[in-house]
Amino acid sequence: MVKRRQGGGIGRAHLSYWSKNRTLNFKSFWKYSLKHLFRLKGIAIMKVEKNKVVTIQYTLKDEKGSVLDATEKGNPFLYIQGHQNIIPGLESELEGKAKGDVFKVIIPPKEGYGETNPNLIQEIPKDQFPEPSEIQEGMQFQADTPEGPMILTVLEILESTIKVDGNHPLAGKNLHFEVEVIELRDATAEEINHGHVHGQDGEAQHH
Ligand SMILES: [Zn+2]
């Protein structure tokens, strides 16, 4: 930090001069390096924000603790923050998180898959289905509606109709998430353009 001045004898006066000087320099050195460190830290720690590709592991449980969905070990989930790739409650909870962060959150239906809509529970004549005799409770079908494709879950088989539920299977549920942020990177320009992730490194050749 402070170099001894070359040449010249060092008397008492000089020594005290140098030690004073050294103290000053020492302080300003730390002031400088702390500032420097903070600046570096700001760059080094990437946070979840718009246009970051976020890799997470998660477990989703219902109110009773039953696992509804989970990533498998070695097969995490990737999405782009800020592109509505995931439910709003989870996206806002992830905002500002860093790699290695682990958290739990309970997401209410309105921040998740919406409230259950009773109008989406309907009876449909059996002859509208392919092979109606094969249908069992819990089976799912895709129906084309004016609002786009809808997944129908069979609730009950009646005499001449089948009662189905067009709500998302997770609608009306409080979602208990446990999440770990595994990896973070910038989305590529193409990924941002498409609004979805192109694999781990952003270079998947899918189109
Ligand atoms: Zn794409």
Tens digits of residue pLDDT in 92-118: 999 999 999 999 999 999 999 999 999
Domain limits, CATH 3.10.50.40, in the chain: 52-113+172-194
pLDDT at residue 23 greater than cutoff 90: no
d(CA 194, ligand 1 centre) in Å:
5
Give one word for 116, left, alpha or beta, with left for phi > 0 and alpha for psi -120 to 50: beta
For residue 197, report the distance from its CA to the centre of ligand 1, in Å.
7
The whole-model pTM stands at 0.69
Q: Which residue has the higher pLDDT, 132 or 193?
A: 193
CA of 199 relative to ligand 1 center, distance in Å? 10
For 118-165, CATH gives: 2.40.10.330
For position 7, what pLDDT does the model report?
46
Q: Which residues of 107-131 are buried (b: 16+ CB within 10 A; e: fewer)?
A: bebebbbeeeeeeebeebeeeebee
Q: Tell me what pLDDT residue 65 has.
A: 96
What CATH number matches the domain at 52-113+172-194, 3.10.50.40, 3.40.50.920, 3.90.470.20, 3.30.450.20?
3.10.50.40
Which has more confidence, 67 or 205?
A: 67
Q: How far is the CA of 183 from the centre of ligand 1 (A)?
A: 20
Q: How far apart are the CA of 77 and the centre of ligand 1, in A?
A: 16
- Angstrom distances, CA of residue 126 to CA of 123, 130, 132, 149: 9, 9, 6, 20
**CB proximity list for 46: less than 8 A, separation 6 or greater:** 52, 98, 99, 184, 185
Q: What stretch of H or E contains 141?
A: strand 140-145
Q: Residue 34 has what pLDDT?
A: 55
Phi, psi of 115 (to 5 degrees): -75, 155
Q: Where in the chain is the domain with CATH 2.40.10.330?
A: 118-165
Residues in the 5 Å CB sphere of ion ligand 1: 194
What is the CA(79)–ligand 1 centre distance, in A?
12
Q: How far does residue 196's CA lie from ligand 1's centre (Å)? A: 6
How far away, in angstroms, is 149 Cα from ligand 1 center? 21
Report CA(195)–ligand 1 centroid distance (Å): 7
